[in-house]
Amino acid sequence: MRRGPSLPLPAPASGERHDWDTLKSLFPYLWRYRNRVGLAMLCLLSAKFANVGVPLIFKQLIDGLTITREQAFVVVPAALLVAYGVLRFSTSMFTEFREIVFAKVTQESVRRISLEVFRHLHSLSLRFHLDRQTGGLTRDIERGTRSIGSLISYTLYSILPTLVEITLVVGILLKKYEPSFAVITLATLSLYIGFTISVTNWRTALRRQANELDSAANARAVDSLLNYETVKYFNNEAFEAGRYDAQLQTWIAAQLRNQYSLSALNLGQALIIACGVTAMMWRATAGVVNGTMTVGDIVLVNAFLIQLYIPLNFLGVMYREIRQALTDIERMFGLLKTGREVEDRPDATELPAGALSVRFDRVDFHYDPKRQILHGVSFEVPAGKTIAIVGHSGSGKSTVARLLYRFYDVSGGAVYVGDLDTRAIKQDALRRAIGIVPQDTVLFNDTIRYNIEYGRPGASEEEILAAARAAQLHDFVAHLPDGYQTRVGERGLKLSGGEKQRVAIARALLKNPPILIFDEATSALDSKTEKAIQSQIEAAARGRTAIVIAHRLSTVMNADEILVLDGGRIVERGAHASLLSQNGPYAAMWALQQQEALETNT
């Protein structure tokens, strides 16, 4: 099968930001818990008021202790000491209350967004999943979900509290002291924020480049590990290691540039803070010398400086982290905006119960507009009948199954199930009505029982065992040490091709749908097992609408009608005996396979 043009993972254009769009996308998830958010904000304000009150009480204590030692315990009210301790404790208490109240908001928001991305990925077309790189995609989702929690936490736990505290401190300085203190504070703050924003914006491009290279390296490693056997077959371990190392070296160079820029940012921030602290202490010392400020005042100003310095420095760190988090989640949020190639119509309907017919009406289809796969294909499978589709590799046989499942929409014509165009049927209802044994069976890294039960989650033990027996699988499983609890490994690699195919047959039989598709269902089986399973396939298809896609013509001899595909066109159709008598392409294929079978037996 030829794939369409490669679909890269969604990513912002170089230098383009969508920060406000991202924040607006987060808002509905927080709004679900608005009462908790409001309570958390109240705790936040209470904690900051208590924190700012501590230096004020401390100033009163210092000024009270500047008198003689004998008078100290009389002059200094005990209430000040109590208030000092209460405010210290209140700062921590309200901060922890805020964390407790808001924890559920953060975790539930991350859960809901992760679930939405997961569901959206499953709703995207087969074309998207064929072209994606699993390693890079999973790394983007992992970083994105982690960064969502960080973004919410940094914004509401760090940025807002810092702004509240800066506002309170500047207000107190303006009211209690000469304007120069507030001017120096605001000037330092403005320089710090301006410098941080400008340098961080420059660093964002470096961060994005590092992330791209990280995803690429991870995708290359995962792809190589998924193809472990192929690597071994061709003795290419060193080649794969060299490709991975080349990717890692490029990533390291990007990481080093990122670290150098971070060091430059930190040094610049430290210089601005040092200048601001020096200017503030100079003004405070001058006030004490000329008698306009007390020792308590200089202690107060110093305490405010310390309290401002810590959140101001933290503000820079948080801004960097928020920008980096926004960069990390852009790709994940881009996935949510990836359009679905196949969508349900607003008026899409359910399928009626009972047996269903299948009809292809002059169907055209292509994966790539440059190469047409199907050309005006028309056929009908009456309810309860079996039709077989045969042809050489690349003739379009498996494409028929994908179109019936509506993994893609047809380029022309229509596919009908019952009397309904598949585009007018809800996808969920359509796929519930179809069971398939695919040519390439991929199993979950779980037990044999789980993989069979996947056909109908919640099925009883008796139903699972009956499906396994019908697929000629039970005896094999019964001899395994762990029986049905045997784990099959990633993608089912611990089982042989034939064993995997029998699990797939059991899974399809357990689903018990009105329409069955067997896409080269016995291709990985030996002749003896093939004959045993063939009778079970015919039994399973009895009373159902069945489409058997096959390369081996011996497996389709009893079909009600056989279609011969060649180059995406039906070149012959009829029953087995009729097609042989026509002495056309089918007869030629039959003769060739009979000759191959004879040579194999001899």
H or E segment and range at residue 375: strand 371-381
Range of 71-80, 210-219, 334-343, 502-511 with top mean pLDDT: 502-511
The per-residue pLDDT for 3 is 39
Q: Is the pLDDT of residue 120 over 60?
A: yes
442 beta partners = none
* Residue closest to 325 by CA, chosen among 113, 198, 145, 195: 145
Q: How far apart are CA 595 and CA 286, in angstroms?
A: 108
Q: Is the pLDDT of residue 127 over 80?
A: no
Token pair belonging to 255 = 């990481």
379 beta partners = 360
10 to each of 31, 140, 212, how far by Cα in Å? 27, 10, 12
**Residue 13's pLDDT band (boundaries 50, 70, 90)?**
very low
What is the homologous superfamily of the domain 19-336 according to CATH?
Answer: ABC transporter type 1, transmembrane domain (1.20.1560.10)
| More reliable by pLDDT, 246 or 289 | 246
In terms of Cβ atoms closer than 10 Å to its own Cβ (0-12, 13-18, 19+), residue 174 is middle
Q: Where are the domains of the chain?
A: 19-336, 352-366+383-433+515-602, 437-512
Q: Is the pLDDT of residue 253 over 80?
A: yes
Give the number of C-alpha atoms closer than 13 A to the C-alpha of residue 53, restricted to the C-beta side.
18
Instruction: Find the range with the poorest average confidence among 79-88, 291-300, 456-465, 590-599.
Output: 79-88
Q: Is 188 helix (H, G, I), strand (E, B) or coil?
A: helix
| More reliable by pLDDT, 57 or 150 | 150
The per-residue pLDDT for 65 is 58
The per-residue pLDDT for 260 is 84
**Residue 571's pLDDT band (boundaries 50, 70, 90)?**
very high
pLDDT average, residue stretch 560-566: 91
Range of 33-37, 88-92, 192-196, 239-243 with top mean pLDDT: 239-243
Owner of token pair 């808001």 = 102
**Residue 68's pLDDT band (boundaries 50, 70, 90)?**
very low
H or E segment and range at residue 519: strand 515-519
The per-residue pLDDT for 10 is 40
Q: Is the pLDDT of residue 60 over 70?
A: no
Percent of the chain with pLDDT over 70: 80
SS3 for 191-222 is HHHHHHHHHHHHHHHHHHHHHHHHHHHHHHHH
75 to each of 67, 78, 87, 292, how far by Cα in Å? 9, 9, 21, 22
pLDDT, tens digit (0-9, with 9 covering 90-100), for 382-414:
988 999 999 887 788 888 988 998 888 898 999
| More reliable by pLDDT, 226 or 32 | 226
The per-residue pLDDT for 291 is 76
Percent of the chain with pLDDT over 90: 11
At the topology level of CATH, where does 352-366+383-433+515-602 sit?
Answer: Rossmann fold (3.40.50)
H or E segment and range at residue 163: helix 160-176
SS3 for 436-499 is EECCCCCCCCCEHHHHHHCCCCCCCHHHHHHHHHHCCCHHHHHCCCCHHHCECCHHHCCCCHHH
The per-residue pLDDT for 7 is 35
pLDDT average, residue stretch 118-124: 78
pLDDT, tens digit (0-9, with 9 covering 90-100), for 317-360:
677 678 778 877 777 777 777 767 778 888 889 988 888 899 99
- CB neighbours of residue 443 within 10 Å: 24
The per-residue pLDDT for 250 is 86
Q: Is the pLDDT of residue 361 over 90?
A: yes
> Are 19-336 and 437-512 the same fold in CATH?
no
**Residue 94's pLDDT band (boundaries 50, 70, 90)?**
low
Q: Is the pLDDT of residue 11 over 50?
A: no
Q: What does the DSSP assignment read for 9-78?
A: PP-PPTT---HHHHHHHHHHHHHTTHHHHHHHHHHHHHHHHHHHHHHHHHHHHHHHTTS-HHHHHHHS-H
The per-residue pLDDT for 379 is 93
**Residue 562's pLDDT band (boundaries 50, 70, 90)?**
very high
**Residue 8's pLDDT band (boundaries 50, 70, 90)?**
very low
Q: Is the pLDDT of residue 460 over 80?
A: yes
Q: Is the pLDDT of residue 17 over 60?
A: no
Which residue blocks in 406-447 are alpha helix, DSSP H?
Answer: 427-432
Range of 347-356, 410-419, 436-445, 531-540 with top mean pLDDT: 410-419
Q: Is the pLDDT of residue 14 over 50?
A: no
At 572, give phi and psi (nearest 5°): -150, 155
Q: Is the pLDDT of residue 512 over 80?
A: yes
Per DSSP bridges, beta strands 434-437 and 515-519 are parallel
Instruction: Find the range with the poorest average confidence among 70-84, 210-224, 256-270.
Output: 70-84
Q: Is the pLDDT of residue 545 over 70?
A: yes
Instruction: Please enumerate in sequence order all residues whose Cβ is within 8 A of that of 236, keeping only pairs 6 or more positions apart, or say none.
Output: none
The per-residue pLDDT for 418 is 87
At the topology level of CATH, where does 437-512 sit?
Answer: Rossmann fold (3.40.50)
3-state helix vs strand vs coil in the chain, percent to 5: 65, 10, 25
H or E segment and range at residue 549: strand 545-550
Token pair belonging to 153 = 């936490």
Is this prediction's pTM over 0.85? no
Mean of per-residue pLDDT scores for the chain = 78
The per-residue pLDDT for 378 is 93
